[in-house]
Amino acid sequence: MAEEENTSMAEEESTEAIRPELPIGRVKKIMKLDNDINKVNSEALFLVTCSAELFLRFLAEKSAEITTERKRKIVKLEHIRIAVKKHQPTSDFLLDSLPMPSSQPSDRPATDQKHPRPVSEKPVPAGTRRIDHFFHKPANEAPILIDNDES
């Protein structure tokens, strides 16, 4: 993209070419998934990428506001959902697409999807570790702090 040349600094936006932080090539692939869409020229592709970025920033900000309101430090799906609900145009196209609350993450191996048996079934000698403790931790996921008192 063009370097800044001898243009005036009067414009409020950067006088350089605008560089979206999202990959334009991937945006193009996403567009192409819809067979009804014919041709999209390069300026349109550029603008869709820019507006997708604006949307992402907006939704991230609104979600974070919810997180902060609830005095949490981790942005969760539920915070996003509430943020989506609050903005009518976004809610109209997006609310139904959001995963249902407390759904299993899709990349968990099948073994973790079985519910562990209730721990209180049989009394065990003190200090015994139940065997299902070994299989309880998700194997490859980044640590997620479980927030049990979400409302």
Partner 1 sequence: MDDNVGASDPNEDNNNIKEQERLLPIANVGRIMKQRLPLNAKISKEAKETMQECVSEFISFVTSEASEKCRKERRKTVNGDDVCWALEALGFDDYSGPIRRYLHRYRELEVERANQDRVRDNEREA
Please give the residue ranges that form the binding site for partner 1 (CB under 8 A).
1-2, 5, 11, 13, 17-18, 21-23, 26-27, 29-31, 33-34, 36-41, 43-44, 46-48, 50-61, 63-64, 67-68, 73-77, 79-80, 84, 88-89, 92-94, 97-99, 105, 109-111, 141-142, 144-145
CB 68, min distance to partner 1, A: 7
Give the nearer residue to partner 1 in terms of CB position, either 119 or 141: 141
Give the nearer residue to partner 1 in terms of CB position, either 58 or 133: 58
Query: Half-sphere exposure of residue 74, counting CA atoms within 13 Å on the CB side?
Result: 9
Spatial separation of the C-alpha atoms in residues 117 and 120, rounded to whole Å = 9
Are the beta carbons of 22 and 53 closer than 8 angstroms? yes
Give the nearer residue to partner 1 in terms of CB position, either 30 or 119: 30
Query: Half-sphere exposure of residue 5, counting CA atoms within 13 Å on the CB side?
Result: 2
CB 128, min distance to partner 1, A: 27
CB 121, min distance to partner 1, A: 24
CB 134, min distance to partner 1, A: 15
Are the beta carbons of 127 and 117 closer than 8 angstroms? no
Chain Cα centroid distance, residue 107: 15
Give the nearer residue to partner 1 in terms of CB position, either 65 or 130: 65
Chain Cα centroid distance, residue 143: 16
CB 122, min distance to partner 1, A: 26
Tokens read off for 146 = 């479980």
Give the nearer residue to partner 1 in terms of CB position, either 122 or 136: 136
Pick the closest to residue 53 from 23, 77, 25, 83 (CA basis).
23
Spatial separation of the C-alpha atoms in residues 58 and 69, rounded to whole Å = 17
